[in-house]
Amino acid sequence: FCAEPKLQLIWNKYIIMRQYIIDAFTDKVFHGNPAAICILEQWPSGELMLNMAVENNLSETAFAVKKGGSYHLRWFTPGGEINLCGHATLACAYVILNFYEKEAAKVVFQTLSGDLVAERHGDLYEMDFPAYELKPVPVTEQMIDAIGAIPREAYMGRDLLCVFDDVKIIEHLNPDLSKVHALNGLLLHVTAKGAETDCVSRTFAPKCGVPEDAVCGSGHCHIIPYWANRLGKDDIIGYQASKRGGTLYCRMDGARVKLAGKAALCSIAETQSK
């Protein structure tokens, strides 16, 4: 698979491009959170990018185009384009730094959430993301009914964050996704203090066409600020307790969150689209 990586050919009105499937926040394939990554020389249509995301049926398909010394990066779920995604950014950094910019130690992405920097530190890829401001909100009967358990407290950023006292509740939750869809916030994150890690969480995203996100980087821009404040320390190790599972090595840095994780190449394929 070490053939020339830049591939975006037009043949008989078809666009042929190379697509990488990367498992993020893990060092083993079929674990962590898979993302499809396409590095392009020019933008396809928004309709094509969304159709590819739907066809891939992963929580995220990301597209990047180099502009000067940085890359313009866009993220698509099967439900549409979103403004921030951690695992697909890590996956994109892995692809660029291993196949396109092999001598580089970092890559800068231009995104809907501003400039994001990803750096390689050994086998870890560290990203610098904005932290969401968390506002306390009441725990409602609607939340309890949707989640199927009673949170101790709840907060709103871009997403809804619900905090529980027992990690076993997190591991065994089976929320009603149709009712989760009706809750405020783009995504729902549930979290509790961990035993082997600082915190444990799960993420549900029916509004994005994703029942459960295997490992959610942008979700930890909510989760890490909460636990850093609660535990009184800046360095936090988080575990996402989905079926695939994944580990995040995080650090609060003022109003920013450093999110680091490993990545594994699952596959490379050439796709053909009109």
What are the residue numbers of the active site? 60
Phi, psi angles (nearest 5°) of residue 170: -60, -45
CB neighbourhood size of 111 (10 A): 18
Place of tokens 């921030």: 84
CB-CB neighbours of 43 under 10 Å: 12
Locate the DSSP E strands across the chain. 8-11, 14-24, 33-40, 61-67, 70-77, 80-82, 106-111, 114-121, 124-130, 135-137, 153-156, 160-163, 188-193, 199-205, 210-213, 235-240, 246-253, 256-261, 263-273
Longest dimension (CA), the chain: 60
For residue 237, give Cα distances in angstroms to 6, 15, 251, 252: 36, 41, 8, 11
Question: What is the C-alpha to C-alpha distance for residues 14 and 87, in angstroms, rounded to an integer?
Answer: 29
- For 222-237, the DSSP string reads HHHHHHHHHHT-SEEE
| Local structure of residue 199 (DSSP, 8 states) | E
Evaluate whether 109 touches 89 at the Cβ level (below 8 Å).
yes
